């Protein structure tokens, strides 16, 4: 079961003798890269030409909702089923044919090993078959570089808060290639905190978007502890435990507590997660004296986080940057953007490149 949830671009495919032929009529000197992303549960492909994203196709795997989290083995199998269709669709939408490609790029990590292997093998086989250079891309760097897809673009140096289902980082971005992680989560990621809190409330996976929606009609009347971690590191595992005991105790008094107060509970959880993120970001901005601030990753879609950070931007004279929604959660558009900068720098990868788990992303608890 897949659902194509994004698909920028337009196509004029013409099926001749069984082979898809795509009209283009564009300058032969332009540089086009096909990029593939399969690090977790979204199969995605994008085409970038001369730094402009022409297509970004994402097939979400809805099947994991039935299990309350991502099942790695199922994810790899779904990638395998989806990848040909998704790549073909990205080329069609971009109106680019295989002979116009100058390189093939793919996420090599961090991510789920089986999921990464599917995209990586597909991309390497394409590069080999077409005689093109291969570019391996780091998923976390790509999240940061998603800010360079559309206007307005941040100026260097900037601080990026990368908040996804598997990672939470504050990155000092000095250039397209020079980045330093100055803070990160010591346990759960911000998206994971949303998803696991949702699970405690009986919400479907992934709970982040749902908590966001429910929180809009609630008030943050319940308080949960803000962890006191030194520096710019984060911790979210204590929050999950605090919520679990809070719900358990409240249910002893009122078995329907969750049903009767769901909006306020969601608003309180969201408010706490947002506050943890906002305070660390403010501290980093003050210490590094940087007011160019980017937010990327799936949790950047959260309306409470956006609102709070916009308020902070006004108070602290920040310029704040959010990628378009389709470039927040996992997508090949951001991989294509990162690959474009690597291509310009002549940074190509060996076909021996192996997938890496490093900074492992979440899967079903
Ligand atoms: P990963 O790279 O780890 O797969 P993504 O960048 O794709 O993560 O983001 C997915 C995560 O973002 C999930 O944990 C999901 O719950 C969270 N998320 C998506 N939209 C929202 C939202 N509106 N509010 C809070 N969390 C969200
Ligand atoms: Mg991601």
pLDDT tens, position by position, 168-193: 999 999 999 999 999 999 999 999 99
- Nearest ligand atom owner, CA of 204: 1
Ligand 1 nearest-atom number relative to CA 328: 6
Question: Which of residues 190 and 9 earns the better pLDDT score?
Answer: 190
Element (H, E) at 67: none
User: Could you tell which of 69, 299, 333 is best to mutate to test the pocket of ligand 1, judged by most ligand atoms within 8 Å of the CB?
Assistant: 299
Q: Is a pLDDT exceeding 90 seen at residue 358?
A: no
Alpha helices in 289-326 (DSSP H): 303-316
Distances (CA, A) of 228 to 163, 224, 235: 19, 13, 9
- Nearest ligand atom owner, CA of 115: 1
User: Which phi and psi angles does 251 have, rounded to 5°?
Assistant: -70, -25
Q: Report every protein residue that has its C-beta within 5 angstroms of ion ligand 2.
A: 164, 330
Distance CA 313, CA 292 (A): 9
The structure tokens 């294509």 sit at 336
User: Could you tell which of 60, 69, 145, 194 is best to mutate to test the pocket of ligand 1, judged by most ligand atoms within 8 Å of the CB?
Assistant: 194
Distance CA 208, CA 11 (A): 33
**What confidence score (pLDDT) does residue 47 get?**
98
245 CB contacts (<8 Å, ≥6 apart)? none
Give, in words, the CATH class of 2-144+328-344.
alpha beta
Please state which of the four CATH numbers 3.30.420.40, 3.30.530.20, 3.40.50.20, 3.20.20.140 is assigned to the domain occupying 152-322: 3.30.420.40
**What confidence score (pLDDT) does residue 28 get?**
58
Distance CA 247, CA 75 (A): 32
Distance 201 CA to ligand 2 centre (A): 24
Q: What is the pTM of this model?
A: 0.89
Q: Quick one: average pLDDT of 136-150?
A: 97
**What confidence score (pLDDT) does residue 1 get?**
39
For 292-335, write each residue's pLDDT tens digit.
Answer: 999 999 999 999 999 999 999 999 999 999 999 999 999 999 99
Distance 165 CA to ligand 1 centre (A): 5
Which protein residue has the closest C-alpha to ligand 1 atom 25? 208
For 29-45, write each residue's pLDDT tens digit.
Answer: 899 999 999 998 899 99
Fold agreement (2-144+328-344, 152-322): yes
List strand residue ranges (DSSP E) for the chain, in order.
2-8, 13-16, 19-22, 32-37, 42-49, 52-61, 103-109, 134-138, 158-163, 168-173, 179-184, 292-296, 319-321
- Mean pLDDT, the chain, whole residue set: 90
For 58-69, write each residue's pLDDT tens digit.
Answer: 988 777 777 777
Q: Is a pLDDT exceeding 80 seen at residue 365?
A: no
For 109, left (φ over 0), alpha (ψ -120 to 50), or beta? left
Tokens (6 digits) for 36? 């593939």
Q: Are 137 and 106 in contact (CB under 8 A)?
A: yes
Percent of residues, the chain, with pLDDT higher than 90: 83
- Nearest ligand atom owner, CA of 64: 1
Q: Are 248 and 199 in contact (CB under 8 A)?
A: no
User: Could you tell which of 191, 267, 333, 360 is best to mutate to test the pocket of ligand 1, judged by most ligand atoms within 8 Å of the CB?
Assistant: 191
**What are the residue ranges spanned by the domains of the chain?**
2-144+328-344, 152-322
């Amino acid at each position: 079961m897949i659902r194509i949830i994004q698909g920028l671009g337009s196509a004029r495919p013409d099926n001749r003798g069984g082979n898809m032929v795509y009209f283009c009529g564009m300058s032969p000197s332009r540089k086009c890269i096909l990029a593939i992303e399969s690090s977790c549960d979204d199969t995605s492909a994008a085409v970038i030409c001369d730094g402009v994203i022409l297509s970004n196709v994402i097939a979400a795997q809805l099947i994991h909702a039935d299990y309350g989290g991502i099942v790695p083995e199922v994810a790899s199998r779904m990638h395998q089923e989806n990848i040909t269709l998704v790549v073909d669709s990205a080329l069609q939408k971009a109106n680019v044919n295989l002979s116009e490609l100058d390189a093939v790029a793919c996420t090599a990590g961090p991510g789920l090993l089986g999921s990464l292997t599917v995209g990586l093998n597909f991309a390497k086989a394409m590069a080999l078959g077409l005689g093109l250079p291969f570019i391996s891309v780091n998923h976390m760097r790509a999240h940061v570089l998603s800010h360079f897809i559309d206007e307005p673009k941040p100026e260097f140096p900037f601080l990026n808060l990368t908040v996804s289902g598997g990672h939470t980082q504050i990155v000092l971005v000095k250039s397209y290639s020079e980045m330093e992680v100055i803070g990160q989560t010591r346990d759960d990621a911000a998206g994971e905190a949303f998803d696991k809190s949702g699970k405690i409330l009986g919400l479907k996976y992934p709970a982040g978007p749902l908590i966001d929606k429910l929180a809009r009609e609630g008030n943050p009347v319940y308080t949960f502890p803000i962890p006191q971690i030194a520096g710019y590191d984060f911790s979210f595992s204590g929050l999950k435990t605090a919520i679990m005991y809070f719900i358990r105790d409240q249910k002893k008094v009122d078995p329907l507590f969750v049903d009767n107060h769901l909006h306020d509970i969601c608003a309180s959880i969201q408010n706490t997660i947002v506050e943890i993120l906002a305070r660390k970001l403010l501290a980093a901005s003050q210490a590094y004296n940087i007011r160019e601030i980017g937010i990327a990753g799936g949790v950047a879609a959260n309306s409470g986080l956006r609102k709070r950070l916009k308020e902070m931007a006004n108070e602290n004279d920040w310029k704040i940057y959010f990628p378009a929604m389709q470039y927040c959660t996992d997508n090949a558009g951001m991989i294509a953007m990162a690959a474009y900068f690597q291509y310009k720098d002549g940074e190509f990868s060996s076909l021996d490149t192996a997938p890496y788990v490093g900074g492992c992303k979440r899967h079903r608890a």
